[in-house]
Every structure is written in structure tokens, then in C-alpha cells.
Structure 1
Amino acid sequence: MTGALVHRVRREQRGAWFPLLVFAAVRFAAAPIVRYGQGPCDTAHGGLGGICVNSLPPAMWYWPVALLLAYVAISWFYLRRSARLGLGTRIQPYLALGIALALLMAADEAWTAAHPGFVAELHGPGPFSLFADTVVSPAGTIGLALLLLARIERSWPLLAVTCGYLLTMLGSGVRPDPSPWAFLPSLLLQGGVLLLGGVVLGLLHRAQGRSAG
């Protein structure tokens, strides 16, 4: 009896479908910003990975601002849901990590713009460079925060979605392509995984609620 009650409480506390849908919208909305929001590159330093290092164009500002707004929306959702159900989810660590990663990404962008020569010398192939680029990337910050949310909600479906998302992120990589839309397939794939995961988790939560009722 106690085990069934604990399981029901945990099920009611889960709401990860909403963050997944929010982040899917953030990913999709980035397409025109990334395509048309790049600034001119400094010919003395060039660009790193197709991104100019001598300024902070709109494309660089988009991600920190969009992610912070996303976490504001997620906070509102969980607080409203907690007030309605009378059940709170320990969401504070997830929000703290997500916001910290977004700020770290913003600081990295600012440092890159202010020290192009230093960054160009350090940037190169290697496990540390790959790890650092992944952690401070928009896709990486979303994935790492979702891993913590899966732990908080003890949700195996969310963990599966997050792992699939991270695999698509790591598998896309950076390939030489002169097209200005070269980034679009990986962005759409990652956003699609988040969207599909959010829809599936939302339907699963609704079906479980009906069966329990």
C-alpha cells in the first residue's frame, strides 16, 4: 500500500514533458538567428568552428537569453503545478544547474570575443577541447540539465530521451560545409528528439493519470 502511494506521488510530480517542449521550441527558433545573426569575421583571426570571435553578434546573444527565459517558464510551470496538485517537485537543483550552465556559456562567448588570439591558439582537436566545447554549447547545457532532471524525477523515460538527445548531439559533429545552412540538419534533429520526447512523455503521463483515476 505504501509502495503504491509513493509510486503515485512520484508519477504526479513528474512534468518533464514541459521542459522538453520548451527546449524544442528554443532549438527550432534558433535557426533564423544562427543563419542571419552572425557578425562579420575578423580577417586577422578568422573564425572558430564557423563562429566569428571578434564580436558578439545576435546569434551569440540568443542562446543565453533564450535559455534563461526557458528556465523562467519552466519555474513558472512547476510552481503552478505544485500549487494546483499540492505536490512539490524538488526542481531547484535542476534550475540552478541550468541557469549556471547558461551563464557559463554567456561568459565563454564574452571571453572568446574579448580574447580571439588566445582562444585561437588553444582551440584544436583533443579530448579536453571537445569536452569543454560540448559543456558550454547550447545543446550541451540542455542535455546536462536534463540528466539531472531525470535523476530528480526518477524517470527512466526521460533518461532515455536525454540519452538519445545527447547521442544525436555528439553524432552530428562539425563537418566542413560551405553552405550557410549546414547547421540546420543537426539543429532540426536535436529539436525533433526533444519535441518527440516531450509529446511521448506528455501522452504517457496523461495515460497513467487516467488509469490511476
Structure 2
Amino acid sequence: MNLRRTLRDNRGFILFLLSFALFRTAVADWNPIPSGSMRPTLLEGDVVLVNRLAYDLKLPLTDVVLLPLGEPQRGDVVTLSSPAGGTRLIKRIVGLPGDRVEMRDDVLILNGTPLSYSGNQSHGEAVAPGWVVDAVRATEDLDGRPHAVQFLPALSARRNFAELTVPAGQYFLLGDNRDNSEDSRFIGTVPREKLIGRAHHVIVAADWLGEDGWRMAPRFERWVSAIR
């Protein structure tokens, strides 16, 4: 009796919560960035806005596609459910179905043509509190969509793999922090239904991984900024 009365007295609020949950699972979502795998494009402490309707309308809380809405493109930054365990990741699409993808000494080769890299700059990169390594940042031209990437020469990483052809209905994804990312080099190509949505803006950001450990200093210059 009390439960029934509580539900009746709070039905407006309950409907709001259900509508909000449906909106997040089917239309738009926001995700905090927990790691440095997409540096320098995305930083730990960024919160990104994700369009869940960019590619498919799905049955909420599932990978079941109800209606295709758009085609993933090279250069899109996407959230995904990892095919190797289901962990939610955020990476960049570099290979479409049918593409031939290869890497030699950190240079990405797409359909037999090496990508171009420009504006190389060296700096120190903190990979853990108190551990700073040399890093090189550059602009990678991915099929006419330039974006920043980072290389960490001092770290052991998978900088080479033989040419592979991306299967139909699947995508090859890489992190922009090429030497510190768990991506298609390790988890394999990603089926379309595992793509959750396209991340298009950083909505808020905070510096929470400083040299002194946890802190919450806002990065106002990154608020409401487009992801490239």
C-alpha cells in the first residue's frame, strides 16, 4: 500500500528519471575521459558529449540496431564497447570496411599510401605521477582530416603490424596517443554494432592528474570545444 502510494505521489519524478535514462541510452550521452590514450586530442578529466544517433538507432541498453542512420567516417572519434571484454573505450576510426591498413615505425599506411605527418614538436609527457618521458607531437593527415597525434619513443609499444584488410561491417580504430593505447592493434577490428556513438565536443574539463596527484582544477579553455 505504501509503495503504491509512493509511486503515485512521485509519478512525475519517476517518469522524468525514466525519460532521462532513455535519452542517455538512446540519444545522447556524456563520458569522462579516464586515461591518456587519446592525448593530445583528449585529456584525462575531459567530459565529452556523444551523439548516439550518429550511426544507428539501437534498442536501448543493447547492441541491437533498429535503423541505420549514418555512416562512420575516417577520422571520427567514437565511443565503443570493446569486442575484447566489453570495456567502454574512446578511439579514432582510421580504417573503413575494405581498407588496407598497415603500420611501420608508427607511420600509418592506408591503402598502400603512407600518411603525412607535419609540425613535429618534442616535449615532456607525464605518463604517471612523477614519471615524465620524452614525447613527440605531430599533425597526421588522415584522408583530408588533419588531427594531432603523439608518440612516446621511450616506451615499449607496437609500432609495426603487417597489412590487413578491414572486414565488411567492421572498423579499425587507433588512439591518438599511438604508443600508449589499447586499440585495434590489440582488440582487433570493431563491428559496427559495437560503436556507441560519435564524440563531437568536450563539454567540461578539469585537470585531475597533476604532479601532486588528484586535484580538480578547471580547464576552462577546453570547455565546449569541438573535437578534431
Structure holding more helix per residue: 1
- Specify which structure has the bigger relative contact order, considering alpha-carbon pairs within 8 angstroms and separated by 6 or more residues: 1
- TM-score, scaled relative to structure 2: 0.22
Structure holding more strand per residue: 2
- TM-score, scaled relative to structure 1: 0.23
